[in-house]
Structures are given as structure tokens and as C-alpha cells.
Amino acid sequence: MSAFSTRETFDRQLHALLEQVLVLGSMAEQAVQHSVQALQRYDRSAARVIYKNDQRINIKRYAIESGCITLIATQQPMARDVRLLAAVLEIITELERIGDYAKGISKITLMLTEEENDLPIFQDIQRMADLGLGMLRRALDAFVSGDQMAARAIPTSDDEVDNLYNRVYLELIKRMVADSTTADHANHLMWAAHNLERMADRVINICERIVYVSTGEMKELDLSDGIRIGNGDEIG
């Protein structure tokens, strides 16, 4: 087989792999969208479906990972190709974790009982989801096009996500202080917001990998020094 034919085969297989990354990204995006909608409707039936469908995201992630390893082992990719495949391995991990956040929000929905005063919180949570998913779509577009400048610009949106999370956090703290019987409910909503805040952080990680593919430099993107209230692991 000629070098040209080998390269043509590699490019074709790589293109198919990148298309599957976009499929995984779409699956994660839809999972988050649907989980937030189910949360706002207290829709336990929908939440159970989203929770169960997380396994499909995991399976897709592992299939792409296997494809990457096969390409590296059989096609002898060049340096930039290796960086791209290494980035794919990291990006699909981030996408799988975003799917886990959707699963976690669905799990929270199963724990909730309906409260009349949740609407303002849900409005901020929806805005967090919209911003985070917008970041994700832009990041995947930048990845496919190899646009490192677009990838560098995306993390600036994280400040607004953080501000919304802080507002939700403080509002729920006030609710718990005013009425201790609301503590469990408020804490569950706090975790839902936290999962969305972490989703935006995962998108920033994706952006860092996009820059790495173009520059060969592995480093954190510069972010403004915002104060983030609250910490801990997400419910997944």
C-alpha cells in the first residue's frame, strides 16, 4: 500500500471518528437539556428515562476510545495527528462526565417534591444550562474547525455561569436559614445548580485540548479571578 493510500485511509477513519465525537456531544447536550426540563416539571418518569439512557453515552464514549487506540496502533499517525487523537480521548471523557451531570440532575428530580417557590431558582438554573450548553456547542464547533482562537474566547462565558450559581447558592442558603425544614429540598436544588456549574468547567477543559492540538502546548487557559461560593463533588 502506498503512503498516499495509507494517509487517505487514515484521514477517512479519522473523519469518521470526529463525527462520532459530535454525536457524543449531541447526546450529552440533549441529556442535560432534558434533565433540566424534567427537574422544572418534577417529571419523575422523564428523569428515570434520562438516568437509564446515561449508559448509552458511556457505551458511545468507549467505542470512540477504542477507535482512537486502533488508529494510533495501526496507522502510525504523525505528531499533530497524535495530538488530535490524544485530545479526542480527553474530550470524550469530558463529554461523558457532562452526561453524568445530567444523570445526577435526574437523580435529584427523583428526590424532589413540588414547591411553589422554586420558580425563581429554576429560571436561574435554566439560564445556567443555556449558557453552559452554548459554550459546549461553540467548543465542539471550534474543535471540528481547529479554531483555537474561538476556543480561547469561550471560557469568558464561564463568569456568568459562576455568577448565576452563586446567586442560586445564596438564595437557597437564605431559604434554609429562614426555614430549616426546607434544608433537604434546597440542598438538592443546590446540587443541580452545582452540576451545571461543573459542566461549564468541563467545557473549558475541552477548549484547552483544542488549543493543545493547534499549539502543542498543554496549559490552562487564562480565566478571570472570580470568587466561587460553595465547593464539593457533583451528584452523578
Q: Note the pLDDT tens digit of each residue in 109-128.
A: 999 998 878 999 999 999 99
Q: What is the pLDDT of residue 223?
A: 57
Q: Kindly state whether residue 133 falls inside one of the protein's structural domains.
A: yes
Q: Kindly state whether residue 49 falls inside one of the protein's structural domains.
A: yes
State how far the Cα of 232 lies from the Cα of 185, in Å rounded to an integer.
18
Q: What is the pLDDT of residue 228?
A: 41
Q: What is the pLDDT of residue 115?
A: 84
Q: Kindly state whether residue 232 falls inside one of the protein's structural domains.
A: no
CA dihedral of residues 173, 130, 102, 20 (deg, nearest 10): -160
Overall domain count for the chain = 1
pLDDT band per the 50, 70, 90 thresholds, residue 197: very high
Q: Kindly state whether residue 227 falls inside one of the protein's structural domains.
A: no
Which structural domain, as residue segments, surrounds residue 144?
Answer: 3-215
**Residue carrying the nine cell digits 480565566:** 223
Q: Kindly state whether residue 183 falls inside one of the protein's structural domains.
A: yes
Q: Kindly state whether residue 226 falls inside one of the protein's structural domains.
A: no
The one-letter code for the residue type at 54 is D
Domain CATH for 20: 1.20.58.220
Q: What is the pLDDT of residue 222?
A: 63
Nearest Cα neighbor of 148 from 198, 94, 217, 202 is 217
Q: Kindly state whether residue 229 falls inside one of the protein's structural domains.
A: no
Query: pTM above 0.75?
Result: yes
Q: Note the pLDDT tens digit of each residue in 16-43.
A: 999 999 999 999 999 999 999 999 999 9
Q: Kindly state whether residue 224 falls inside one of the protein's structural domains.
A: no
State how far the Cα of 235 lies from the Cα of 192, in Å rounded to an integer.
8
Can you tell me the mean pLDDT for 58-67? 96
